Amino acid sequence: MQADVIEVSVRGIIPTANGCAVFLGDQNKTFVIYVDHSVGNAIQMTLDGIRKERPFTHDLIGQIFLGLGVEMQHVVINDVNEGTFYARILLRMENEIGKKIIEVDARPSDSTVLALQHQRPIYVARSVYDSVEDMTEILERVLKQRTEESSRDDDKVD
């Protein structure tokens, strides 16, 4: 991939009063995207490998891709404006007529679920990466606090 994008992964999901904070990043920086509860749950369920009784919207989209012979290539979080992130999903389709690359505008939250389900990379544009605040310390502090609370809860059970 080009130098103008950086591959990121989901580093954590933290429930908030209005949804979920999805922490994305690499070894150098972590940033946060706020999503609604349903998409945050879909991301967490995908990360945890939880099978659903009935398909969710993201599952349906994946089945449509499969039925049409469309392969998801990757996701690029390509812009941020006043805290709102934007993404593109790159799809590849090949049939008897030829090959076609399709780029679709999508919410980063939905894009993230699809990328995780299809085990495809998530990229962020260098300009976006450089402009967002590094939230690594906050994520580490919250995860540490969760671990400590979990340990205390385990000690109470014993």
List the domain range (segments joined by +) for residue 54: 5-157
pLDDT tens per residue, range 34-93:
999 999 999 999 999 888 888 888 888 988 888 888 999 999 999 999 999 999 999 999
Q: Could you tell me if 86 and 75 are in contact, meaning their C-beta atoms sit under 8 angstroms apart?
A: no
CA distances 122 to 25, 57, 114, Å, are: 10, 20, 10
Comparing 13 with 59, the larger pLDDT belongs to 13
100: alpha, beta or left? (left if phi > 0; alpha if psi -120 to 50):
beta
**Closest Cα to residue 109, out of 37, 15, 25?**
37
Q: What is the pTM of this model?
A: 0.86
- DSSP at 84: E
CATH number at residue 115: 3.10.690.10
